[in-house]
Amino acid sequence: MNRLKCIWTGAMKKGIWRDAAELYWKRLSGLYTSDSVCVKDGPSHLAPGPRKEAEAKAILAKTTPRDRVIVLDERGKSRTSAQLAQDLTGWLEDPARQPCFILGGAYGLADQVRDRADDLLAFGPMTLPHELARVVLFEQLYRAATILKNIPYHH
Q: What is residue 21's predicted lDDT score, i.e. its pLDDT? A: 94
Q: What is residue 155's predicted lDDT score, i.e. its pLDDT? A: 77
Best CA proximity match to 89, nearest among 100, 99, 79, 78: 99
Residue 153 falls inside a structural domain: no
Binding site membership for S-adenosyl-L-methionine: which residues? 72, 104, 123-128
Q: What is residue 127's predicted lDDT score, i.e. its pLDDT? A: 86
Please state, in angstroms and rounded to a whole number, the distance separating the CA atoms of residues 137 and 14.
Answer: 17
Residue 155 falls inside a structural domain: no
Residue 154 falls inside a structural domain: no
Binding site membership: which residues? 72, 104, 123-128
155 residues of the chain, pLDDT tens digit each = 579 999 999 888 779 999 999 999 999 999 999 999 999 999 999 999 999 999 999 999 999 999 999 999 989 999 999 999 999 999 999 989 999 999 999 899 999 999 999 999 999 888 888 899 999 999 999 999 999 999 998 87
Q: What is residue 2's predicted lDDT score, i.e. its pLDDT? A: 76
CATH number of the structural domain spanning residue 41 = 3.40.1280.10
Phi, psi at 103, each rounded to 5°: -120, 135
Domain hosting 62: range is: 3-148
Q: What is residue 81's predicted lDDT score, i.e. its pLDDT? A: 96
Residue 123 makes CB contacts below 8 A (sequence gap 6+) with 72, 78, 133, 136, 137
Total structural domains within the chain: 1
Q: What is residue 1's predicted lDDT score, i.e. its pLDDT? A: 52
Residue 95 falls inside a structural domain: yes
Q: What is residue 139's predicted lDDT score, i.e. its pLDDT? A: 97
